Amino acid sequence: MNAIKVVEESYRKEIPPFSIGDTVSVSIKIKEGEKERIQVFTGIVIGRQGAGIRETFAVRKISKGIGCEKVLPLHSPLIDSIKVTKEGVVRRAKLYYLRDKKGKAAKVKEKKFIGK
């Protein structure tokens, strides 16, 4: 089992800590023919699944009035960077209920900084 961990570790990346309900900007490398460009996908993290090298996360955003979700492997080499822009307060591990909400109801409460 140890050898598997060694293999997995060599493919792992540094990931900033983020949790469900946070708003993240994911920079995704996109190859178009020869050229490679970076597309930023900003949205709410509605779920994380799996562990170790197999972990994936789902980001949801409303693009021009249409809901759009991306499920990405956390350690994918196609992810250039993940930036946490907002931290959210949620009581659930999977925010699938956001899919049925519109407008203000589809918002996640932002975490306000409370001193020690």
The residue from 17, 77, 103, 115 that contacts other proteins (CB under 8 A) is 77
How far apart are the C-alpha atoms of 58 and 50, rounded to whole Å?
12
Number of other CB atoms surrounding residue 52 within 10 Å: 13
E strand or H helix at 4: helix 2-10
Q: Would strands 23-32 and 56-63 be described as parallel, antiparallel, or unpaired?
A: unpaired
The residue from 39, 63, 76, 85 that contacts other proteins (CB under 8 A) is 76
- Residues 3 to 62 in contact with other proteins, rule: CB under 8 A: 3-4, 6-8, 10-11, 29, 31, 53-54
Instruction: Return the C-alpha torsion angle 24, 106, 56, 79, nearest 10.
Output: -30
Regarding 78 and contact with other proteins (CB under 8 A), the answer is yes
Regarding 84 and contact with other proteins (CB under 8 A), the answer is no
Comparison of 36 and 110: residue with beta carbon closer to other proteins = 36
Q: Which of these ranges, 1-9, 33-41, 84-92, 103-111, lies near other proteins under the rule CB under 8 A?
A: 1-9
Q: Which of these ranges, 15-23, 40-48, 71-79, 91-99, lies near other proteins under the rule CB under 8 A?
A: 71-79
How far apart are the C-alpha atoms of 46 and 92, rounded to whole Å?
9
